[in-house]
With several copies, the nearest count.
Chain A
Amino acid sequence: MDTIDRGNYPDFVWPYEDTSRVPFQVYTDEELYRVEQKKVFQGNVWNFLCLESEIPEPGDYKTTYAGDTPIIVVRDEAGDINAMVNRCAHKGSLVCYKPRGNVKELACVYHNWVYDLRGNLTAVAFRRGVGGKGGLTDEFKNSEHGLQRLRVEVFRGLVFGTFSEKTEPLADYLGDELVSAVDRVLIKPLKVLGYYSQIFKNNWKLYVENNKDSYHASLLHVFHNTFGVVRPNMGGGIKISDSGWHHLSYTERTDISDDEIVKENVRSKQDAYSLEDPTLMEHKLELGDNVTNNIQTIFPTLVIQQILNCLAVRQLIPKGVNESELIWTILGFEDDDEEMIQHRVATNNLVGPAGFISMEDGAVGAWVQRAAKSDREALTVMPMGGRAIEPSQGSRVTEAAVRGFWKGWRECMEI
């Protein structure tokens, strides 16, 4: 127990020579889950916290999570963004129990201890007691009882936080590939167009793998093939950060390999149907290229999405070993006109829990989880594209990015 709290995990040994095979135990083990909170989410990683545009004014705050730790993100009087653990230094109550708001200071309602917007304890109710009775003794120093702070960096309107002093600067953490990938999509000030979330009945890592799994796209999601619309072919490619931790997957409007898909895809009735209203497939080029799909994953749990004109960030929150929640924040640009907003709303039918080309991702993770629990030692296999963790140009038929995720997980977990 104690040992676990120090973050070691003596009992678990990685059972294979590399990360091309993974034991099902990683999805079902309660102890591993607990260690992950310490060594992954509270370790040397940058957790996505929120969008800068969600807290534009001084005093604006939003509550969020890093792993399963509740977090407050707040903009202070100087306009700087601060992130603190949402746990009062006194008895541990949530300091903010509303999803968002604007405040002058952070007051915990339980005993009215007050913190400034940087998390410093500024006032303790009845610190001098009543009529000279009760209250604090001199040994109590406010400076020793602030909220636990995270280091914060903002990049292209995305707010990230880390618990660790050792985490390298965000740009280095992301690496050049991802930095330019984010640059490509988030080219202008962002505007939130809406929210929704999706509950997965599976361990958080299964959804992360799903996003890094460029292999499944046209095989699991057969909407394009079924309706014979322009489709994200298995061409395009993936890029992987040097660390192996992050990746991006993209497809362009060049259907070289359709026949191969036709040859492969046994399940979907090829072009048997047509969309009566193809509005939602229309792509208004706005990013200066004709990349139709671009999925970026930033370790551990952020996804940045461009699918035609659907822009979104997806934040994954672990909810115990068997469940996770994906919070979708659908984006537009500040300068979208009404027509563009309506177009984004229409194309949004493609994504999310009800999305024509994404709903299946909600189901498959739960199917793995159910099958996983009965045999913890059995191994998955990820042989696509060999065993290496390397980019792939012209084909997305590789599991390299998933292998890269496991490299990152093992490095954090020291397993």
Chain B
Amino acid sequence: MASIPSQLDDEVSLRLRIDALNANYVHTIDDDRLEDWPNFFTADGEYSISTRENHEMGLPICLVQCKGTGMFRDRITALRQANIYEPHTYCHSVSALHISSRSQGVIATKSNFTLVRTMSEGEMMLFAAGRYVDKIVDYNGELKFAERRVILESRRIDTLLVIPI
């Protein structure tokens, strides 16, 4: 797997490395390689899914919140072993990468995504749209998420939400 040389650490390559990170992240989910999902985060990394409404009203509740590798792994174990749901797949689009700031090795970025969900009989729908609000760090040459906050445009979830976004 050819990755962008990390020493070439200027804005140009940084942007491309983050593009590659985002691409790699969504393919890992869309290909159902969910056991690799926790590895995109630092050991004490945080992931949450909330709504624009809660976000703008300053309300703390998230639909999903994982803090630290253990909770990430528990999510996947539950998805694989405990929870019941109709088989379905995701297809992410991710675009509009914006690098908001860089300081003390933490890169703050924002991107938009749309997510198409497909059920096993073929029913396809726009399941979610929103933005990724991220804090990214370089972890010996590899970019990881110290924080990835998923802010959904809509408060509505169709049926259920089991696969991470």
Q: Let me know if chains A and B touch directly in the complex, using CB atoms closer than 8 Å.
A: yes
**Complex partner residue of B84 from A109, A341, A352, CB under 8 angstroms:** A109
The contact size tier of chain A is 35 or more
Query: Which residue on chain B has the smallest CB distance to residue A276?
Result: B70
Chain B residue contacts of A280, Cβ below 8 A: 71
Measured in the bound complex, the distance between the Cα atoms of B83 and A109 in whole Å is 11
Decide if B7 is an interface residue (CB 8 Å cutoff): no
Decide if A155 is an interface residue (CB 8 Å cutoff): no
Instruction: Map CB proximity to B onto A358-369 as digits: 1 under 8 Å, 0 otherwise.
Output: 011011001000
Chain A residue contacts of B69, Cβ below 8 A: 276
Within 8 A of B (CB), among A355-383: 356, 359-360, 362-363, 366
Decide if A325 is an interface residue (CB 8 Å cutoff): yes
Report whether B157 and A349 are in contact in the complex, using a CB–CB cutoff of 8 Å.
no
The contact size tier of chain B is 35 or more
Measured in the bound complex, the distance between the Cα atoms of B59 and A345 in whole Å is 10
Decide if A79 is an interface residue (CB 8 Å cutoff): no
Chain B residue contacts of A349, Cβ below 8 A: 64-65, 71
Within 8 A of B (CB), among A113-152: none
Chain A residue contacts of B77, Cβ below 8 A: 227, 273
Q: How far is the CB of A213 from chain B (nearest CB, A)?
A: 15
- Answer whether A194 and B157 are a contact pair too, CB < 8 Å, given A223-B82, A269-B81: no
Measured in the bound complex, the distance between the Cα atoms of B66 and A345 in whole Å is 10
Measured in the bound complex, the distance between the Cα atoms of B121 and A275 in whole Å is 33
Measured in the bound complex, the distance between the Cα atoms of B83 and A195 in whole Å is 23
Task: Point out which of A109, A269, A273, A341 has the most chain B C-beta atoms below 10 A from its C-beta.
Answer: A273
Report whether A99 and B63 are in contact in the complex, using a CB–CB cutoff of 8 Å.
no
Decide if A218 is an interface residue (CB 8 Å cutoff): no
Within 8 A of A (CB), among B79-132: 81-87, 120-122
Report whether A197 and B155 are in contact in the complex, using a CB–CB cutoff of 8 Å.
yes
- Answer whether A194 and B87 are a contact pair too, CB < 8 Å, given A330-B61, A345-B61: no
Query: Which residue on chain A has the smallest CB distance to residue B73?
Result: A276
Decide if A354 is an interface residue (CB 8 Å cutoff): yes
Give how many A-B residue pairs fall within 8 Å (CB-CB). 134
Q: Pick the interface stretch among B19-27, B28-36, B50-58, B133-141.
A: B50-58
**Complex partner residue of A277 from B63, B71, B86, CB under 8 angstroms:** B71
Report whether A223 and B83 are in contact in the complex, using a CB–CB cutoff of 8 Å.
yes
Q: Pick the interface stretch among A7-15, A35-43, A198-206.
A: A198-206
Report whether B59 and A359 are in contact in the complex, using a CB–CB cutoff of 8 Å.
no
Decide if B4 is an interface residue (CB 8 Å cutoff): no
Chain B residue contacts of A225, Cβ below 8 A: 82
Query: Which residue on chain B has the smallest CB distance to residue A342?
Result: B60
Decide if A192 is an interface residue (CB 8 Å cutoff): yes
Report whether B82 and A195 are in contact in the complex, using a CB–CB cutoff of 8 Å.
no
Measured in the bound complex, the distance between the Cα atoms of B157 and A342 in whole Å is 23
Measured in the bound complex, the distance between the Cα atoms of B81 and A346 in whole Å is 21
- Answer whether A194 and B60 are a contact pair too, CB < 8 Å, given A99-B120, A226-B78: yes
Query: Which residue on chain A has the smallest CB distance to residue B48?
Result: A345
Task: Point out which of B59, B84, B120, B158 has the most chain A C-beta atoms below 10 A from its C-beta.
Answer: B84
Which residues in B have some Cβ–Cβ distance to A below 8 Å?
49-51, 53-54, 59-65, 67-71, 73-74, 77-78, 81-87, 120-122, 155-162
Additional A-B contact list (9), CB under 8 Å, known A226-B78, A352-B63 = A98-B87, A195-B61, A197-B157, A222-B82, A279-B71, A359-B161, A360-B83, A362-B159, A363-B85
30 contacts between A and B (CB under 8 A): A193-B59, A193-B60, A194-B54, A195-B51, A195-B59, A196-B51, A197-B122, A197-B156, A198-B160, A199-B159, A201-B159, A220-B84, A222-B82, A223-B78, A223-B83, A225-B82, A227-B74, A268-B82, A273-B82, A330-B61, A344-B61, A345-B60, A345-B61, A346-B67, A354-B157, A356-B78, A356-B83, A359-B85, A363-B160, A366-B159
Q: Which 4 A-B pairs have the closest CB atoms?
A: A194-B61, A276-B70, A277-B70, A226-B82
Which residues in A have some Cβ–Cβ distance to B below 8 Å?
97-99, 109, 192-201, 220, 222-223, 225-227, 268-269, 272-273, 275-277, 279-280, 325, 330, 341-342, 344-346, 348-349, 352-354, 356, 359-360, 362-363, 366
